[in-house]
Structure 1
Amino acid sequence: MSQRRYEMTDFEWSIIQPLLPNKPRGVPRADDRKVLNGIYWRLRTGSPWADIPERYGPSTTCYNRFVRWQKLGVWDRIFEAITAAYDGDLQMIDSSSIRVHQHGANAKKGVRRPPPGTSLTPDAWGARGAG
């Protein structure tokens, strides 16, 4: 399998493989590495599960395995092992930016505000029931 943008390296796979549950019974399982690459592709791109490329197997397999492993705590073990293997040399930067919608940038129209220099007690700016 040639290395693609969202796929694990051989080093990462050598760390992850022993941590995966292996209960061989019934129908043979889809290749774990292929399914993991499909899960990582989905998580990194933010695409819907149904849009996972065919080379990673059925999207339902990727989704079901993701959910099942979450319940078993497999993901926590994987992240801890990868973090330990890179010994703090791996850093991630979130480059997302959040902007306020143009209508959310200003206060609502008709909101009564006290004139500058007045105290902020309700009776200073004419609130009902003050006194």
Structure 2
Amino acid sequence: MSRFQLLTDAQWSLIEELLPARTGKKGRPFRDARQMLEGIIYRYRCGIAWRDVPEVFGPWQTIWTWHRRMSAEGTWDLVLARLLATADQAGIIDWSVSVDSTIARAHQHATNITRDTGGWVELHESGERAA
């Protein structure tokens, strides 16, 4: 396996049917879904910008477009649901939940909102408060 092949054949077979497929329409050539998905995974795994995705995965613009469209269509939600269901059936997931009830308080000077403290006020010559 090369360092750019991120999914095993077993992993790919789980989600392959959920991804976009060739429609037969004329236009731009359809990119390989596995290559695009692995480009997206590589980008998130390495924490790099879209422009820095290696050319091995194809043009970064195409990879970004696939990711954007799959997000808008809800494909990522379907993929996550399939993977969670499969992992749960295999007993790989531990569903224990931990709730953290700590409170993070900010210092009183951490705000940028001005407030009337009733302190010093500029007065007019007549002795009235200025607005």
Does TM, scored on the shorter chain, surpass 0.5?
yes
> How far apart, CA to CA, are the structure 2 residues paired with 1:38 and 1:45?
11
Stretch of structure 1 that moved more, 19-28 or 38-47: 19-28
Instruction: State the partner residue of 1:16.
Output: 15
**Counterpart secondary structure, 1:4:** coil
Tell me if the contact between 1:6 and 1:40 (Cα under 8 Å) persists in the aligned partners: no
Tell me if the contact between 1:6 and 1:44 (Cα under 8 Å) persists in the aligned partners: no
Shift of 1:107: 8.0
Inter-CA distance 24–90: structure 2 relative to 1 (3 Å threshold) = farther
> How far apart, CA to CA, are the structure 1 residues paired with 2:4 and 2:92?
20
1:50 matches 2:39: no
Tell me if the contact between 2:20 and 2:33 (Cα under 8 Å) persists in the aligned partners: no
Stretch of structure 1 that moved more, 74-83 or 26-35: 26-35
TM-score by length of 1: 0.63
Report runs of 4+ in structure 1 exceeding 4 Å deviation: none
**Counterpart secondary structure, 1:30:** coil
> How far apart, CA to CA, are the structure 1 residues paired with 2:85 and 2:12?
14
Inter-CA distance 70–12: structure 2 relative to 1 (3 Å threshold) = same
The alignment-based identity, stated in percent, is 34
RMSD: 2.6
TM-score by length of 2: 0.63
Gaps of 5+ in 2: 95-106, 110-116, 120-131
Aligned positions, number: 97
Tell me if the contact between 1:35 and 1:56 (Cα under 8 Å) persists in the aligned partners: yes
5 Å-filtered alignment, 1:1-131, equals 2-4=1-3, 7-22=6-21, 23-26=23-26, 27-87=28-88, 88-90=91-93, 128=118
**Counterpart secondary structure, 1:28:** coil
Inter-CA distance 30–80: structure 2 relative to 1 (3 Å threshold) = same
